[in-house]
Each structure stands twice: as C-alpha cells, then as structure tokens.
C-alpha cells in the first residue's frame, strides 16, 4: 500500500489565548503529542491574523515542536540555550521509535535506524553522534558538520558503521517535521502539493455524512492536509480575511464534533478529537 504523507496546519495564534510562556509551552506539548500519536508527518504553522506580526509566536511554536521531535541525546547539540525553551521541562516525551531509550553500543542491531548529528568529517567519511558511547562512521558521505541526519546501522564491532537513510523510507513512524509559513492559509492550500485537503470547522458537514466521499479520495491520495482554525476565529473567518471562501479552496469542510457541548473548542482539543476520528476512519489504513 502506498505510504501517505499526513500534514496538519495550525494557526500562529494557537498559543495567543494563554499569557504565560509556561502555558504556551504546555499547549505546544499537547499539539506535539497529538501529532505523534496519530503519526502526523508534518506540522505547518501558518499566519492567521494579517493585522499583527505573528513571527514571535510562529518561532516559539516551531522551536518547541522541533525540540520535542528531537531525541533527548541530541538536544544539547542541536538547541542552544534559548528563552523559548525556558519551560521545556514541561514538554511530554514523544516515546516514538526514533526516540530510543538504548544508550549502549552493544545493544545496537544491524538494520536499526537512529537519528544523529554530524560531529566531524574526513576524506573517508563522517563521524556521527547516534546516542551511544562512540560515534558511528559513515563512509563516503558528505554532510555539513552540525547537521541532523537519519542513519541505518550496517556493521557493529569495535566501532559502528552506518549509512545515510531517508525518513520517508522507514516503515516505522519516524516523527514529524515543522514548517513555518509566511504565506496565508489560502496560499498554502493553493500552492501546496496536496492531493486532498480537509478543513475542520464547527460549520462543516458532520464527518459521518462525508465519510464515503473522503474515503474514496483518501485511498488515492499520497499527500493529505488537515487544517485547523484559531482560538478566536475559525477557518471560515480566517479565509474570509483573504477574500476567499473556505468551501471553494479545500476539498472537504467537516465537523468532527457535532452537537458540541461547549461554545468553542480549542485548537489543541479539535486536533485530538479530529485526528482520533480520522484515525478510526482513514488514518490506520494510510
């Protein structure tokens, strides 16, 4: 079965409804966990308020989510001391396959994949920190020092040898990437390479009414976008600011929580509810 790339789009103002950095960090933690639980491949952070410079919020969200996706043994190498990470301790661990607990070379297995950081280069290849006592050697590879890489273990003796690997070719779920967009949501949908776009909104059609049509498209799609609105305005209002009609620019607008008991549903709540329902209907088949 064709492997599908699942992307979610979340607004920059997703953390604007809480004032303190600790609460913003906690909210980002919920988003990162939801993305990992439901095997999201990409998180897109988009600007949703053209009247405000949202770069600070976008950078904060992207930094926290990228930090969460990084294995603990690489975080000190890849993330310097930043104000955004002051409360990183409240972020929950992902516990995904690319966050292994093993820190011993003797417990590595040939064929195993690991995340690493390039430490040094020689003519013969690279030395990469993969989270065990000695760096792995990758023959004939050319990657800049300090770059994060994915590797596959090929030989283990007194030292470890590996080869560069592509994340999208690994059968296990291998975490998410984070993209910050300077373009509006409408532009992302218009220019993005998505075969299927789904918007979550309380004004959408109940999922049960559209499930059959979505299933047909889902089965054929290789790149799928599921989009969410902001705490103070949904995707209909966000696209209206661009002079666009949400129902005309996306393939489906669905309500995943019909007859909701609260006036509003927070973005992180909508994310968990929607991905859970989509997972039951479609994602587990992806």
DSSP secondary structure string for all residues of 74-109: HHHHH----GGGTTGGGSPP---TTS-----GGG--
Mean pLDDT of the chain: 94
Quote the CA–CA distance of 46 and 159 in Å, as a whole number: 44
Quote the CA–CA distance of 123 and 111 in Å, as a whole number: 25
Quick check: 133 pLDDT over 60?
yes
Work out the pLDDT band at 81, boundaries 50, 70, 90: confident
Q: Which CATH architecture has domain 107-165?
A: Beta Barrel (2.40)
For residue range 91-120, list pLDDT tens digits in order.
999 999 999 999 999 999 999 999 999 999
Quote the CA–CA distance of 186 and 50 in Å, as a whole number: 12
42-55: average pLDDT: 94
For residue range 159-179, list pLDDT tens digits in order.
999 999 999 899 999 999 999
CATH, domain 5-95+184-285, list 3.90.480.10, 3.40.50.10490, 3.40.1280.10, 3.40.50.1370: 3.40.1280.10
260 torsion bin: left (phi>0), alpha (psi -120 to 50), beta (else): beta
138-155: average pLDDT: 96
The reported pTM is: 0.94
Please list the residue range(s) of the chain that carry CATH number 3.40.1280.10. 5-95+184-285
138-166: average pLDDT: 95
Tell me which residue has tokens 């789009």: 9
Work out the pLDDT band at 17, boundaries 50, 70, 90: confident
Quick check: 286 pLDDT over 80?
no
């Amino acid at each position: 079965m064709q492997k599908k790339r699942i992307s979610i789009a979340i607004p920059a103002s997703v953390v604007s409804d809480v004032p303190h950095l600790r609460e913003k960090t906690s909210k980002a933690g919920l988003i990162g966990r939801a993305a990992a639980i439901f095997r999201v491949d990409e998180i897109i952070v988009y600007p949703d308020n053209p009247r405000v410079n949202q770069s600070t919020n976008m950078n904060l969200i992207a930094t926290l989510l990228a930090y969460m996706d990084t294995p603990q043994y690489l975080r000190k190498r890849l993330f310097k001391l930043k104000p955004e990470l002051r409360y990183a301790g409240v972020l929950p661990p992902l516990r995904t396959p690319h966050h292994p607990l093993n820190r011993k070379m003797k417990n590595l297995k040939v064929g195993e994949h690991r995340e690493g950081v390039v430490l040094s280069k020689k003519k013969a290849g690279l030395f990469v920190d993969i989270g065990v006592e000695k760096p792995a050697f990758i023959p004939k590879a050319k990657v800049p020092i300090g770059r994060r890489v994915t590797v596959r273990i090929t030989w283990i003796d007194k030292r470890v040898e590996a080869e560069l690997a592509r994340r999208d070719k690994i059968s296990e779920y291998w975490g998410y990437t984070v993209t910050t967009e300077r373009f509006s949501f409408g532009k992302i949908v218009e220019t993005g390479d998505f075969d299927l776009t789904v918007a979550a909104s309380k004004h959408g059609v109940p999922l049960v009414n559209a499930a059959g049509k979505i299933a047909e498209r889902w089965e054929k799609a290789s790149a799928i976008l599921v989009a969410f609105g902001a705490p103070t305005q949904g995707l209909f209002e966000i696209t209206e600011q661009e002079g666009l009609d949400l129902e005309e620019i996306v393939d489906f607008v669905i309500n995943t929580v019909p007859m909701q008991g609260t006036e509003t549903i927070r973005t992180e709540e909508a994310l968990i509810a929607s991905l859970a329902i989509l997972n039951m209907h479609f994602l587990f088949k992806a």
